[in-house]
Amino acid sequence: MGEAGASVVVNYRSDQSSAEQLVASLKNRGGQAFAYQADVSKPDDCAGLFDAVAEHFGGVDIVVADAGIQRDKPFTEMSLAEWQQVLEVNLTGQFVCAQAAVRCFRRQGHDPGRSKALGKVIFTSSVHQEIPWAGHANYAVAKSGLKMLMQTMAQELAPEKIRVNAIAPGAIKTDINRAAWETPAASAKLLKLIPYGRIGEPEDVAQAAVWLASDASDYVVGTTLFVDGGMMLYPKFREGG
């Protein structure tokens, strides 16, 4: 986003030094950026985040809601706290941020010279909005809920020229799934689920987000863009069916 010319606020919950490093690298390349600490599962934190954006940049045009966690457990061992925590961050957190964003878009008003849309919301879903995932009931439910939140918001807000879409990543090399790709054995197992033959990089998702945020995708409304190397194509069916 920074390379594409956006001023960026980097929200973090606990990893201040990574956030500050990213801000420094954006500034070194001539961009405007700052870091802000907010736990998106806490509505007051989200309100503070959007106040800070308004103060620094005068407003907000694009929100990429991408906070997500996993607390994996077999179904009967999953505690209520593990269930709730994942829903609070992965679903309610994205709802709260999106709501704050839409209120900001309305306050600011539309400047067609800036963008064809009044504002853009990009949710971060997952292939698991569609693919059931044993041992991850909380996560799969949060992501499938996010799909319907995205579609409902898109339908409701499109007449105001607010575009709401989602990116559904497959397996991307981040901390959330490190155990699934870090060792050669784990990575070989994971690759059986990815027809394209490589595990995704964060940049694969970032490029999709930049496109969804730009006027190049102005007619894309209420869509989920899968960035998954073909994980949604049921690769096991290559071997029979």
Specify the residue for token string 């001023």. 7
Specify the residue for token string 């991850």. 136
| Minimum CB distance to ligand BGC smaller for 109 or for 197 | 197
Q: Is the dihedral of CA 129, 132, 137, 139 positive or negative?
A: negative
Q: What is the CA radius of gyration of the chain?
A: 18
Using alpha carbons, select from 154, 152, 155, 162 the residue that is nearest to residue 116.
162
Number of other residues whose CB lies within 10 A of the CB of residue 149? 19
| Contacting residue, 2, 119, 170, 229, with ligand BGC by CB under 6 A | 170
Shortest Cβ distance from residue 211 to ligand BGC (Å)? 20
Q: Which of residues 209-238 bind ligand BGC (CB under 6 A)?
A: none
Distance between CA atoms of residues 153 and 162, nearest Å: 9
| Contacting residue, 4, 180, 220, 232, with ligand BGC by CB under 6 A | 180
| Residue 120 near ligand BGC by CB under 6 A | no
Number of residues this chain uses to bind ligand BGC (CB under 6 A): 9
| Contacting residue, 78, 87, 158, 176, with ligand BGC by CB under 6 A | 176
Distance between CA atoms of residues 122 and 206, nearest Å: 11
Shortest Cβ distance from residue 54 to ligand BGC (Å)? 31
Q: H helices of 132-236, where? A: 137-157, 178-181, 184-191, 202-213
| Minimum CB distance to ligand BGC smaller for 70 or for 214 | 70
| Contacting residue, 1, 150, 171, 210, with ligand BGC by CB under 6 A | 171
| Minimum CB distance to ligand BGC smaller for 30 or for 184 | 184
Q: Which of residues 122-151 bind ligand BGC (CB under 6 A)?
A: 126-128
Q: H helices of the chain, where? A: 16-28, 43-57, 80-87, 93-108, 137-157, 178-181, 184-191, 202-213
**Annotated catalytic, 139?**
yes
Marked catalytic residue, from 139, 196, 219, 234: 139
Shortest Cβ distance from residue 27 to ligand BGC (Å)? 30
What is the set of active-site residues? Answer: 139
- Positions in the binding site for ligand BGC (CB under 6 A): 70, 126-128, 170-171, 176-177, 180
